[in-house]
Amino acid sequence: MTVFDCPRHIVICGGGTAGWMCAAALSRTIGRAGVSIALVESEEIGTVGVGEATIPTISTFNGMLGLDEDDFLRATEGTFKIGIVFANWGRAGENYLHPFGVAGFDYEAIRFHQFWLKLHQADREAWGEFEDYSLSAVAARAGRFMRPGGDPDSVLSSMKYAYHFDAGLYARYLRRYAEARGVVRIEGRIVDVAQHAHSGDITGVTLEGGRAINGDFFIDCTGFRALLIDETLKAGFEDWSHRLPNDRALAVPSESHGPLTPYTQATAESAGWRWRIPLQHRVGNGHVYCSNHMTDDQAARVLMAGLDGKALGDPRMLKFRAGRRKAFWKGNCVAIGLSAGFLEPLESTSIHLIQTGISKLLALFPAAQPSQADIDEYNRLTALEYEQARDFILLHYVATRRDDSPYWQERRRTNVPETLRQKMELFASRGRVFRRDDDLFTIDSWLAVMLGQGIEPRGYDPLIDALPVTEIEGLVRHVRDAVSRTAAALPRHEAFIAAIAGRKPAHERSLT
């Protein structure tokens, strides 16, 4: 008989989105090998309770679990998200859309945006904005949505989507899934962590009241507390607040109001930005700000003044610091979720980073004795992912023409990492963008944000000049027409959701 050479008792500490995502994924995979999985959480401590906007990779995770999408949307009051509208970022009064999916198609080995760029540089009026060529962007602005079909040649297939969901309901949904597959949930507050006298490995945690839970591999999902990876194992923190200084958020739900938009809204303010996330039963709102530039009272006023429906409670404050653990995996403990690091939710990257943490842990799953080479590779890849996400978020702050407050003046003077500087310079020259090291964000995402923030390339790909202008015009016009025709024929997002939910959207229900 084959001996299963891996940890036999896994303990997940923490039951927020990270903890239950880990529990669900492990129960689906290694749970089958007879490994015991326990999850410890404390109701009294609770979870961070935010984290409701995602990026398209989430459907890979849900798919790996075998979740039925309609069932998932009903259980989490979820909606579809095909992009993010950024208001007041490049300049106050302007807005742009970062859509998911691709715009146009490459032709003669030249990227589509280069054709548009050439025409746009000659006549801006006639050729419009780049988002006019993205089905996700045009559909998002029109409040329309449909799942992309299977035909790879159809315009519809260029659309990609993610979800908005209620974070608490998602964790509960995954809890039911994991418990049905053998995960044992243990209620209680961890008050002590025991370590092996020689190796320093964690051997168990003790709960208030004295109950000990032992294991041979631990996943730290205790959120900002980082109880195992940092308080116990002293993994350290690489602080990025000199580049991303926002350190607080106020969050408040509000009643649904108006049509169910298939996008997140991120509105820049004088010392930070506000989010608006539409769910079936309510809207999630928040104001992320920098406490050096704004008081909590001022931030609350900005948040409440921006609500478009009645508040469903008082704003709740969250404090954080941008950065990442110096080591995510140490000995027999790996940190996943907020215990691993924090990046403000401007591009909804945190849940994605939980997901990639889980995938890498599965790909490098340790033998009974973890190998240092596996640990090093996990740490290398995770650090890279955090840095790539940081660069993309930072782009929104440094590529701006705003200088209307000390906060924005400071953002423009930010010391830009070399990786991002090269990307911006390359684009500013001839509109070229390359994806490096499996960068999470696609070329279309970089394009949308660089153009939207107001970076104007000085030229375009010179190879294009080998093609007749009429041919280029025909190609670009064809894409714009096809996108606009397809978007107009899509159902309204709220009708699509109502059909899944089996009821009218909340704002319509309150009118009857």
User: Could you say which of 337, 341, 366, 431 contacts ligand FAD (CB under 6 A)?
Assistant: 337
Does residue 194 bind ligand FAD (CB under 6 A)?
A: no
CA atoms within a 13 Å half-sphere pointing along the CA-CB vector of 278: 27
Does residue 315 bind ligand FAD (CB under 6 A)?
A: no
Question: Considering beta carbons, is residue 356 or 486 the nearer one to ligand FAD?
Answer: 356
Query: Counting beta carbons within 10 angstroms of the beta carbon of residue 277, is it exposed (0 to 12), middle (13 to 18) or buried (19 or more)?
Result: buried
Does residue 227 bind ligand FAD (CB under 6 A)?
A: yes
Does residue 134 bind ligand FAD (CB under 6 A)?
A: no
Six token digits for residue 185:
């949930």
The least CB distance from residue 367 to ligand FAD, in Å, is 27
User: Could you say which of 320, 326, 362, 374 contacts ligand FAD (CB under 6 A)?
Assistant: 320
Strand runs labelled E in 264-381: 264-269, 272-278, 283-289, 316-319, 323-325, 329-330, 333-335, 341-342
User: Could you say which of 101, 223, 331, 452 contacts ligand FAD (CB under 6 A)?
Assistant: 223
Does residue 237 bind ligand FAD (CB under 6 A)?
A: no
The sign of the CA dihedral 330, 334, 340, 346 is positive
CA-based nearest residue to 53, from 273, 327, 283: 283
Quick one: DSSP state of residue 281?
A: S
Q: Is 210 left (phi over 0), alpha (psi -120 to 50) or beta?
A: left
The size of the interface with ligand FAD (CB under 6 A), counted in residues, is 39
The sign of the CA dihedral 200, 202, 208, 211 is negative
Distance CA 284, CA 78 (A): 12
Does residue 341 bind ligand FAD (CB under 6 A)?
A: no
Does residue 190 bind ligand FAD (CB under 6 A)?
A: yes
Does residue 249 bind ligand FAD (CB under 6 A)?
A: yes
Distance CA 363, CA 414 (A): 37
| Residues composing the chain | 512
Question: Considering beta carbons, is residue 349 or 379 the nearer one to ligand FAD?
Answer: 349
* Residue 207 backbone dihedrals phi, psi, to 5 degrees: -95, 160
Distance CA 39, CA 23 (A): 7
Which of these segments, 4-12, 118-126, 335-343, 385-393, binds ligand FAD (CB under 6 A)? 335-343
Q: How far apart are the first and last CA of the chain?
A: 65
Six token digits for residue 511:
């009118």
Does residue 14 bind ligand FAD (CB under 6 A)?
A: yes
The least CB distance from residue 50 to ligand FAD, in Å, is 4
Does residue 272 bind ligand FAD (CB under 6 A)?
A: no
Does residue 416 bind ligand FAD (CB under 6 A)?
A: no
Active-site residue set: 81
Amino acid at 280: Q
Show the binding pattern over residues 34-73: x = contacts ligand FAD (CB under 6 A), - = does not. ------xxx--xxxx-xxxxx-------------------
User: Could you say which of 18, 229, 483, 487 contacts ligand FAD (CB under 6 A)?
Assistant: 18
Does residue 348 bind ligand FAD (CB under 6 A)?
A: yes
Question: Considering beta carbons, is residue 45 or 65 the nearer one to ligand FAD?
Answer: 45
Does residue 504 bind ligand FAD (CB under 6 A)?
A: no
The least CB distance from residue 352 to ligand FAD, in Å, is 6
Query: Counting beta carbons within 10 angstroms of the beta carbon of residue 392, is it exposed (0 to 12), middle (13 to 18) or buried (19 or more)?
Result: buried
Which of these segments, 11-19, 77-85, 302-310, 412-420, binds ligand FAD (CB under 6 A)? 11-19
Does residue 166 bind ligand FAD (CB under 6 A)?
A: no
Distance CA 348, CA 336 (A): 16
The least CB distance from residue 44 to ligand FAD, in Å, is 8
CA-based nearest residue to 39, from 233, 175, 168: 175
Amino acid at 302: V
Quick one: DSSP state of residue 8?
A: S
User: Could you say which of 7, 11, 12, 17 contacts ligand FAD (CB under 6 A)?
Assistant: 17
Question: Considering beta carbons, is residue 14 or 90 the nearer one to ligand FAD?
Answer: 14
User: Could you say which of 172, 181, 225, 504 contacts ligand FAD (CB under 6 A)?
Assistant: 225
Question: Considering beta carbons, is residue 114 or 265 the nearer one to ligand FAD?
Answer: 265
Question: Considering beta carbons, is residue 135 or 393 the nearer one to ligand FAD?
Answer: 393
Does residue 15 bind ligand FAD (CB under 6 A)?
A: yes
Amino acid at 329: W
Distance CA 381, CA 387 (A): 10
Which of these segments, 15-23, 60-68, 265-273, 398-406, binds ligand FAD (CB under 6 A)? 15-23
**C-alpha 294, offset from chain centre:** 26
Question: Considering beta carbons, is residue 9 or 91 the nearer one to ligand FAD?
Answer: 9
Does residue 27 bind ligand FAD (CB under 6 A)?
A: no
Pair 133, 479: CB distance under 8 Å: yes
Distance CA 174, CA 67 (A): 10
408-423 as b/e: b if 16+ CB within 10 A: bebbeeeebbebbeeb
Question: Considering beta carbons, is residue 50 or 497 the nearer one to ligand FAD?
Answer: 50
Which of these segments, 29-37, 348-356, 362-370, 496-504, binds ligand FAD (CB under 6 A)? 348-356
Question: Considering beta carbons, is residue 108 or 238 the nearer one to ligand FAD?
Answer: 238
* Residue 285 backbone dihedrals phi, psi, to 5 degrees: -130, 150
Q: Which residues bind ligand FAD (CB under 6 A)?
A: 14-19, 40-42, 45-48, 50-54, 167, 189-190, 221-223, 225, 227, 249, 251, 286, 318, 320, 337-339, 345, 348, 350-351, 354
